[in-house]
A and B are shown apart, each in its own frame.
Chain A
């Protein structure tokens, strides 16, 4: 039994926006794997909910006319992992979200919920950052698209304007981002399932045609700061460099100039920093292998 003030069931995106404008205090609920847990804990007790669960128009993975990969915000983790478009162009995203919770959570939880929570540890977040995803937001004045980096404002807060009735409707990966690009994700956690990331590391690489030069390497971390973040110094160092283990070693060390993990009872700053260096190296080595490069 949940301490829930009311449940409003949206019948369309337009209806969801109208409900949001009508009930600005209400909480949007999709898969419910976070919202209901928090409600049970008393954190959101007594709140009204607007459910967008039935909006099938926000579900599924397609390639749009601009050749963006378009992931509807209500697409479940399980569906992302098993989707052929994801598997072909951005398999690492499917692998990353396959590490969320357990099978039941992955069946219910959605990529929209994962990102709208605004938490740094979300398994999809570092990969979406590393692939420079665009977030599609729909409100009373129509649709806007912003880079995912800008979507995250601070821990627990994302750029959704209640007064505009906004909800997140899709996540897009532009062709320029996924073309000839291969990536790897390491979820560092204390156990092999049902866990939250101590550190999430997502790296992708595009190599030169001969496979000998790093044409473009992007790296993003979860839990290395209050929101998911790119390691720009490390990227600047490696781009244009030769594909060698020595360069990858240096790339790993460089991430320390970018990240800012904190000391908490969950893990120390020193430990997270150490794992970040090692994970960056291992992720890049895997990415090179996937891209057909040789080491």
Chain B
């Protein structure tokens, strides 16, 4: 009891630290065949032919399948809940293999072989003949007239355009004395870089297809595989074991449909698909590169009169999560810095780049970079301290969003900013660093973010849960919200223990593996919703289980249900606190009762019709070596109001991981493409500059714990928020240190060299 709020050790911690945890490869049948994919070596065009003869002649090659063999069933891949409204269903623009290849790395053919060497030799032996078409990589060039077209159904390459109008922008900007602060802000394509590359294996059993996959979303994958293969959804079984991270890349059907289909083409034998790191960078998903154009009209006191925001989102070659990302990004502008007169537009545009999908933050790291950069540009133009400006204009207490019904119940933003300011010693350092004039200059930067916990009311939010009372008085719990490394299982164990009345979270056995034949239906791990959403069904199901236990106890103890409670794993008589029997005694009695035997279980589904605002900020201290064009992070702090912490140790770890991701986003990460061929240049961990531990200062995580009233456990989003405000805080710290604005990330030495040279900071 009282487990919620404690720093408990992860339920899967020891096994993961000692290498005993089983991932999909550890469960691989010994006779699995290797499927290896031939990827397109042009950025855009048609496959005219594939000569498979040399590949088929290789010893060990079992079968070669090409884009001319696949069923003509377009399917969607995004890991969204299914919508019963055809207008809100995901775009079905995928085939298992493609004759019309739309990016360098598209899937053309697959070689299935007895071993990996033969499969790779087979892939290299395939001779593909293409008819090449012109290609386009840049989002705005793809919108131009005459640009190469990717999808017939989407003329002009525009997947979707939405807008938001508020007040009267045109009239508002005529107000006397306004200052216009305009900027273009560019964010790059980046990849999730989870430790475990994507992989899966599939086999047929009794006429049904089973896929064991490194996925975040087993129940959704079942639907997608069913759609892709033209089979009833229940004919598909998906098993999700432990996975080595996902960050949204695995919130998409990646190669599960192809792997399942390959199995059906070799008589149901087990087939495995294992992505290499190089493939993961290019042929899985990336984060959308979004370009923003912001025009802010501000009064000399910093208040915002009117604002125009244009967002151009680079979708890459296929729709995947599509417009949802930039729509969320655009939506944030009106929330975090409310303004009465706004004109916002967002376009999602196909280009011949790798497909963009979900990635931790879902549009917010991009929007935060642009918005927080613009806020600092406003502060600079008005000669106001950027922190003071934020404290003045950021979302006020009591702010309510009419669409989501979200409410800012406390003055969370100012509380977070206050805490961060104190930690970083803001006033003293800003004054001291302003005196730096030499080659080494120091600076402080701040940025804030706004985040929605889940997807309500845009999509369905549902959580199902099953609890079983075991004979030793422990409880087994199953749900569809998946453990993907974030520690969800541990949080669930803590919540379950408290609701049922168990002594310890160790008395809860959370079944970590989801199996769509067995696990109650849930939507998986995405958004920042697991703890919040699962909390509703854990509360409801736990109370149901407790009621059933007490009802049975009534038969044994002759006490009325209302007079009993479960405390520390014992049935207790409430008025005098007497322990009547243990849960183990009760379970044994119930199971082996010759007259009324009962295995006590509870199961329920909760439809969540709430969402919650999550808030926070980053403060960062940098030291800029101007001649060397290098930024060293000296200190960084994230402050979050994510409601009540279920497990402070896990919360801190979650923030550390997000901050690291934000540092990489800010300082080094970006996928590069050859302008002449569209070929990815740096799809490996050497040339893609993910930050290392040597690039990190101490990561400080702090919290403001305002109880979230809509949650049964007072909690809300912390999964994605830590990744949102780090990059713009670094950008603003460089501005503070050098006076130079860098309007694109990553802020690596190349761009610093260019900008410092432009601003006359370099001697030569």
Contacts and interface: CB of A to CB of B under 8 A. Distances in A.
Q: Do A and B form a real pair?
A: yes
Interface in B110-145: 115-117, 120-121, 124
Given A42-B124, A196-B686, A271-B750, A191 B764 contact: no
Given A41-B278, A274-B762, 4 more contacts: A3-B121, A191-B691, A192-B694, A194-B685
A277 interface: yes
Q: A interface, how many residues as a size bin? A: 20 to 34
Interface in B10-45: none
Contacts of A1: 115-117
B281 to A, nearest CB: 14
Given A271-B753, A275-B628, A191 B689 contact: yes
A278 B685 CA distance: 28
Q: By CB atoms of chain B within 10 A, which of A2, A190, A195, A196 has the most?
A: A190
Interface in B673-708: 674, 681-682, 685-687, 689, 691-695
Interface string B628-646: 1100000000000000000
Interface in B732-759: 748-750, 753
A193 interface: yes
A1 B667 CA distance: 35
Nearest to B121: A3
Given A45-B124, A268-B750, A271-B749, A191 B117 contact: no
A191 B120 contact: no
A191 B668 CA distance: 8
B748 A190 contact: yes
A193 B694 contact: yes
Interface in A26-57: 41-42, 45-46
Interface in A188-202: 188, 190-196, 198
Dominant secondary structure of chain B at its interface with chain A: loop
A196 B750 CA distance: 15
Interface string A253-295: 1000000000001111011001101100000000000000000
Contacts of A268: 750
A268 to B, nearest CB: 7
A193 B693 contact: yes
Given A191-B668, A194-B692, A266-B687, A274 B674 contact: no
Contacts of A270: 753
A3 B117 contact: yes
Contacts, number: 63
A46 B117 CA distance: 9
A257 B749 CA distance: 24
Contacts of A191: 667-668, 689, 691-692, 694-695
Contacts of A274: 629, 753, 762, 764
A194 B686 contact: yes
18 contacts: A1-B116, A1-B117, A3-B121, A41-B278, A42-B124, A45-B120, A190-B668, A191-B695, A192-B695, A194-B685, A195-B689, A265-B681, A271-B629, A271-B750, A271-B753, A274-B762, A274-B764, A277-B764
Interface of B: 115-117, 120-121, 124, 278, 627-629, 667-668, 672, 674, 681-682, 685-687, 689, 691-695, 748-750, 753, 762, 764
B683 to A, nearest CB: 11
Contacts of A275: 628-629
Contacts of B764: 253, 274, 277
Contacts of B668: 190-191
B626 to A, nearest CB: 10
B686 A195 contact: yes
Contacts of A193: 692-695
Nearest to A42: B124
A191 B748 CA distance: 9
Nearest to A271: B753
Nearest to B692: A193
A74 to B, nearest CB: 24
A274 to B, nearest CB: 6
A280 B123 CA distance: 47
Contacts of B674: 265
Nearest to B278: A41
Contacts of A267: 750
A271 B756 CA distance: 11
Contacts of B749: 190, 198, 271
B273 to A, nearest CB: 16
Given A265-B672, A271-B749, A278 B627 contact: yes
B120 A190 contact: no
Closest 4 CB pairs of A and B: A192-B694, A193-B694, A193-B692, A3-B117
Contacts of B120: 3, 42, 45
Nearest to A40: B276
Interface in A1-20: 1-3
A266 B628 CA distance: 17
Nearest to B124: A42
Contacts of B278: 41
Contacts of B691: 191
Nearest to A279: B628
Contacts of B685: 194
Contacts of A190: 668, 689, 748-749
B676 to A, nearest CB: 11
A193 B668 CA distance: 13
Contacts of B672: 265
A192 B693 CA distance: 9
A280 to B, nearest CB: 12
A194 B278 CA distance: 17
A245 B672 CA distance: 40
A60 to B, nearest CB: 29
B695 to A, nearest CB: 5
Interface in A210-262: 253
B675 to A, nearest CB: 9
Contacts of B627: 278
B53 to A, nearest CB: 19
Interface string A166-191: 00000000000000000000001011
Contacts of B750: 267-268, 271
Nearest to B673: A265
A291 B629 CA distance: 28
Contacts of B628: 188, 275, 278
B25 to A, nearest CB: 13
Nearest to B748: A190
Contacts of B694: 191-193
Nearest to B627: A278
Interface string A51-90: 0000000000000000000000000000000000000000
Nearest to A46: B121
A194 B688 CA distance: 11
Contacts of B115: 1
A290 to B, nearest CB: 20
Contacts of B116: 1
A195 B681 CA distance: 16
A195 B749 CA distance: 14
A180 B94 CA distance: 68
Nearest to A252: B764
Contacts of B748: 190
A100 to B, nearest CB: 12
B190 to A, nearest CB: 15
A192 B681 CA distance: 21
Contacts of A192: 692, 694-695
Nearest to B664: A191
A252 to B, nearest CB: 9
A196 B688 CA distance: 11
A139 B115 CA distance: 39
Contacts of A41: 278
Contacts of B682: 265
A188 B278 CA distance: 25
Nearest to A249: B763
A160 to B, nearest CB: 26
Interface string A79-122: 00000000000000000000000000000000000000000000
A31 B749 CA distance: 32
A61 B685 CA distance: 33
